[in-house]
Amino acid sequence: MDFFKTVARRASVRAFKPRVISDSEWESLFRAAMAAPSAVNCQPWAFVLVQDRATLVKLAEALPYAKMTAQASGAVVVCAIPAKAYNGSAEIAILDAAAACENLLLAATALGLGAVWTAGHPYADRMAAMRALLGIPAEVIPVALVPIGEPAGAVVAKDKYKPESIHRETW
């Protein structure tokens, strides 16, 4: 799929129908995520892939804006690892993990899958729930939970282009 078409088609998908995502598709998703830029190429991220239905349901119950996780084929928790980031910076680790998360979302779109970014960071309760359910260490920051699956209906992306948001040369 053409890059610009992929970007234009990317939308937050919150309803899924049953479909098994193959190991090769998961690998493609993770390869795309890990191709993201990071400060000084430190790659301070890790990913938790959840496919177990009972765990997906528990995540859906624990996270207020991630109810769709119960029907997803799987979910990925995108984590930031400050100790691996440039200068040990949590802020930089989070930015780098966010870039990886966006690549993951675009890759899902390119594969004809649907996905949605649901926030972990900066919400203490959401991060605590993900840590407790998935054994994520305290020093690792769960930035986002991304449910992924086959969209249950038509995916309609919004045109978010706003020329008034562009400032040329100065503000």
Per the structure, the complete domain to which residue 122 belongs is given by 42-152
Residue 159: inside a domain: no
Q: Rounded to a whole number, what is the distance in angstroms from the first to the last CA of the chain? A: 35
Instruction: Give the number of other Cβ atoms within 10 Å of residue 66's Cβ.
Output: 26
Is position 48 within any domain?
Answer: yes
Q: Does residue 80 belong to any structural domain of this protein?
A: yes
Q: For the chain, what is the domain count?
A: 1
pLDDT digit string (tens) for 108-136? Answer: 999 999 999 999 999 999 999 999 999 99
Task: For residue 84, give the amino acid letter.
Answer: K
The answer to whether residue 74 sits within a structural domain is yes
Closest Cα to residue 49, out of 109, 115, 126, 122? 115
Helix (H, G, I), strand (E, B) or coil at 125: helix
Secondary structure letter of residue 22 according to DSSP: P
Task: Give the model confidence (pLDDT) of 27-57 as tens digits.
Answer: 999 999 999 999 999 999 999 999 999 999 9
